[in-house]
Amino acid sequence: METLGQILQGISSLLGIWLIAMLVYQLILSVFGFGKQTKDYSDHSPRSRFLVLVPAHNEERVIGDIIGNLQQMDYPRELYDFYIIADNCTDNTAQVARSLGANVIETFKESPDAPTGKPIALKKALARIGDYDSRYDLLMIFDADNLIDRNMFREVNSQYLDTGKPDFIQCYLGCKNKTGIVAWYYYTSYTVTNRFFQLAKHRLGLNCAIGGTGFAMSTAYLRERGGWTTMSLTEDFEIQVEATLAGRRILWNHNTRVYDEKPTRMRASIRQKIRWGQGHWYVALKNFVPLFRALFHGRISIGEFLSLFFYMYGISGYVAALLQFVITLALFIPGFGVTPTLFGMSIPSAVIGITVFVYSYLGLFYAADRIDNGIRFGFGTLPLMLVSFFANVIISVFNQVVGLALHRRQQQWVKTEHCVTRGSAQLNVSAIRR
């Protein structure tokens, strides 16, 4: 028993080293996110041609806003086309979209047991369009519940032309809603991520993450890779890993935003994050060897390797923390020959832990919210911050464990219900940011 106890302590120590390594990486990276961001590209007149796809499954309640939004973009109308992909809809999504003047592509399952989801809808739509690479320069994908800054195509066009036509450009991921514990945590995490993860990486010359919506992709690269072939539950993460390992560039645009609706109910959030966990674990485990192969063959730099490595396996921190907790409880069993202390910390360790928490969660959020959204710190938000943080930590541990257990299941898409509508497609940016 004593030997087993020593082995368990050794495992716990290794898990602790991994958790500390991830924490140190994030703290170092965050330093490069401070300071007001100015354009790092010159303005260009509209020249790039955009193909815009909006996958929609039973979205008749919200589809009208994004259609109106896309019809009012500050960009020459002859330089972009958009299509609503009515995917296996049983409501009036297709009819509503057509009545509002949108191009509609309807897709259906070939059989009751056929796989479904956003990746399959995109693949079918692109096959239907056919010659997209000769007609368009960039593909942009949005969700049905999104709203978009009217200058998005203009900004992406300028960055694309000014930076040597990169393969991807990801735009700032904003939130349409932030009321309640669930939505608030999404808002805080995205606000921090946009500045102290995405922008920080961009400033270091590293690829940013692709967020599933509001990103532009070169149609030449899309055709070169054989069309839309990513089929996991996190198709955005899958194509990000694939492109990075191939030495492609993924840039960040901090000057224009897409606004996504966040879940307001705990159950919807759990289902969404389990799906994200399933897809992330699948892609991460599948690409463990290819990641090292890309480094050894010189397709990616050491910096890009470390950036992608920590992003791919960062979710393991939740599992590692849970295992540490379980091992600590197990070591209380008499006979192991060790005397663990549950949550026992020296005063210096406690001070360091509290300082890191205040900086990495509270400090970075309030700094990003002030710089990017113009919202000053208010003590009234602290209780909500703390409650939402600890609630979501517990939920995230559960989600990642379940996601790991189910990571081989990548065929059935679980829809997140959307219901936050604005009643108008006219986007009031200042109202959303406040």
CATH number of 139's domain: 3.90.550.10
Residue 248 in any domain: the answer is yes
The pLDDT, as a whole number, for residue 117 is: 83
Q: Where are the alpha helices (DSSP H) in 151-180?
A: 152-162
The pLDDT, as a whole number, for residue 231 is: 82
**267/262 Cα distance (integer angstroms):** 12
- State how many domains the chain has: 1
Long-range contacts of 335-338 (CB under 8 A, 24+ apart): 335/1, 335/2, 335/5, 336/1, 336/2, 336/4, 336/5, 336/8, 337/1, 337/2, 337/5, 337/6, 338/2, 338/5, 338/6, 338/9
The pLDDT, as a whole number, for residue 377 is: 92
The pLDDT, as a whole number, for residue 418 is: 63
Residue 8 in any domain: the answer is no
The pLDDT, as a whole number, for residue 76 is: 98
* Strand-by-strand arrangement of the 215-218 sheet: 103-107, 80-87, 50-56, 138-141, 215-218, 168-175, 250-260, 147-148
The pLDDT, as a whole number, for residue 431 is: 41
Per-residue pLDDT of the chain (434 residues; tens, 9 = 90+): 678 878 888 888 899 899 999 999 999 999 999 998 889 999 999 999 999 999 999 999 999 999 999 999 999 999 999 999 999 999 999 999 999 999 999 999 888 777 778 889 999 999 999 999 999 999 999 999 999 999 999 999 999 999 999 999 999 999 999 999 999 999 999 999 999 999 999 999 999 999 989 999 999 999 999 999 888 889 999 999 999 999 999 999 999 999 999 999 998 899 999 999 999 999 999 999 999 999 999 999 999 999 999 999 999 999 998 998 888 888 777 766 665 554 445 556 667 778 888 999 999 999 999 999 999 999 999 999 999 999 888 999 999 999 999 998 877 666 676 655 444 334 444 444 44
Residue 169 in any domain: the answer is yes
Residue 345 in any domain: the answer is no
**pTM metric for this prediction:** 0.91
* Residues in Cβ contact with 373 at an 8 Å cutoff, skipping those fewer than 6 apart: 191, 433, 434
Residue 370 in any domain: the answer is no
CB 137 within 8 A of CB 218: yes
Residue 272 in any domain: the answer is yes
Residue 67: which domain range? 50-310+429-433
The pLDDT, as a whole number, for residue 423 is: 43
Amino acid at 232: S
Residue 244 in any domain: the answer is yes
The pLDDT, as a whole number, for residue 348 is: 64
Q: How far is CA 376 from CA 33, 357, 360, 373, in A?
A: 18, 20, 18, 9
The pLDDT, as a whole number, for residue 409 is: 86
The pLDDT, as a whole number, for residue 114 is: 78
- Dihedral-angle region of residue 154 (phi above 0 means left; psi in -120 to 50 means alpha; beta otherwise): alpha
Residue 298 in any domain: the answer is yes
